[in-house]
Structures are given as structure tokens and as C-alpha cells.
Amino acid sequence: MSSTEGRLPAYPFGLLSELRDAANEHGYRIGPEEAGGWIFFRSASAPGEIGLAAANGTGPFFLSLMLPGVARALDAQPAAPCAKGHASAFIFATRDELHAGVQAVYRLSVSLPNFPLEKYENAVSGIGETEGERAQKFRIGQNIFRDALMEYWNGTCPMSGISSPALLRASHMIPWSDCTTDAQRLDVHNGLLLSALWDSAFDAGLVAFDDDGLVLTSARLEDAALHALSLDKAPRLQLRDEHRPYLAHHRNHVWIRN
């Protein structure tokens, strides 16, 4: 594993400005605070703290994360040790890679399970249980869930590549009405960000996904739909372990095999 021990103990103004830009441009605008060769930032709109560091002005660059769930989900090269009180650290060869890493951290921080649930609970606090108020809660929850999926999937349908928000849908694997808790309803791992046609097919049980992310089709899916979905070119869905129980439920209870 790469080491973060080579980080500078103090930063010249130019390099400090570059690290600040990497944080500020991607949602982390509270700070900086310096300690132990790390420059720390927080966000007003995402949980957790990040630490940035560098070995010199041209790299490598280091990113330390407080949130374990985000650290597990981040696709980057690990490094050690992380900042005190943090969960993990990562190394990036270039400034562009560091910027992409910080952007991914912000996106994951606002979409992984606890944050959408907390946002929902705060939003519905004080709303009652009349029929109209339950409908209001449903709309609030659906909007928060969609926003979380937009962040998690980087605003793009992973199957079609479509990124126009008007053509994207927040698709539940376990339908909202079948979920047993609000945590389950708002868990991004219980959802996919799909283009309208893919969403309709998934919701109707005409397509599903196996545990490796490969598309499964129903015998009832007509040839025109097969062609429109471009199933012969469909990519493998990138999954985490947390997705798999939800997808299994969809295969067992929603997917129409024959």
C-alpha cells in the first residue's frame, strides 16, 4: 500500500491555494484547518470531513476521509496512514485525479444511506398522517431518493448513458410501498437511475439483473423493445454488495421470467 508519510509538513501559498480549489470546487468550502500535514475541509451540504495533502507541487496528492461508507465505495488507490480520526486515505498521481476523487467523495457523501434518510426525517418532521399528508411525505421522499440517485450514479443512466434529467427515473428495486422502513425506501442501494424506457421495463419486471450486474430479460419482452433497449450492447451494471439483496428481491418478486 502507498504511504502518505511523504506529505509536506507545511504548504506554500500556491500549493495551499490549489488544495483549497480542489475542495472548494467540489462542495467543500468550510475551512481550511491544518494539522499533521493535512488540510481539512467540510461541506455545508454533505456530511463528514476530508483532508487533503501533497508530497510536492506536482504530486502525488493525498485524500483522507472521515466516513467509512464513502471510503469503501470510493474507487481509488488506498494509502496509509490516514488523518487522525478518519477512516481511510487515498493517493492520486495528478491534480486532475485529485479533483475527480474529491468530486466522487462529495457525490457519495450525499447519496449513501444515512444522509438521505436524515434529510427526509428532517423534511417530514411535523407532518401528520392524514391521507393528504401521507401523499406529501411520499413526494418528499421520492424527490430526496431521486436526488440521491442522481448523485450516486453521477446523473447518468448506467445502461443507456443518457444524462438528460428529464429522461431519467429513480427506480426502486423493492418498490416504495413494499419497503418495511424509511431507511430501506431511501437507501440508494435499493435504486437505479434509469432512462425512461429502462425504468419502465425494470418496473414491469421485463428486465432484471443478476448478482454480477448482467441483464436478465423476460420471455414477454417483445423484439421491438429488445431492439429499443439495445440489449445486445447493454453494459454490465456496476454493483456493490449492498445492491445484491435488493436485486434478488426484484428478481424473486418483480421479474417475470417466462
Q: Supply the pLDDT for residue 103.
A: 96
Extents of the domains making up the chain: 2-109, 114-253
Residue 210 has which C-alpha cell? Answer: 443478476
pLDDT band at 246 (very low <50, low <70, confident <90, very high): very high
- Reply yes or no on whether the pLDDT at 10 is more than 80: yes
The pTM of this model reads 0.77
User: Looking at the chain, how many residues does it have?
Assistant: 258
Mean pLDDT of the chain: 94
Q: Supply the pLDDT for residue 115.
A: 86
Q: Supply the pLDDT for residue 11.
A: 93
Q: How far apart are CA 2 and CA 52, in angstroms?
A: 15
Average pLDDT value for residue range 25-36: 94
Report strand pairing: 2-3 vs 191-195.
Answer: unpaired
pLDDT per position as a tens digit, 149-161: 999 998 999 999 9
Sign of CA dihedral 4, 45, 194, 173: positive
Q: What is the DSSP string of 149-206?
A: HHHHTTTS-TTT----GGGEEEEESS-GGG-SSHHHHT-GGGEEEEEHHHHHHHHTTS
pLDDT per position as a tens digit, 194-244: 999 999 999 999 999 999 999 999 999 999 999 999 998 999 999 989 999
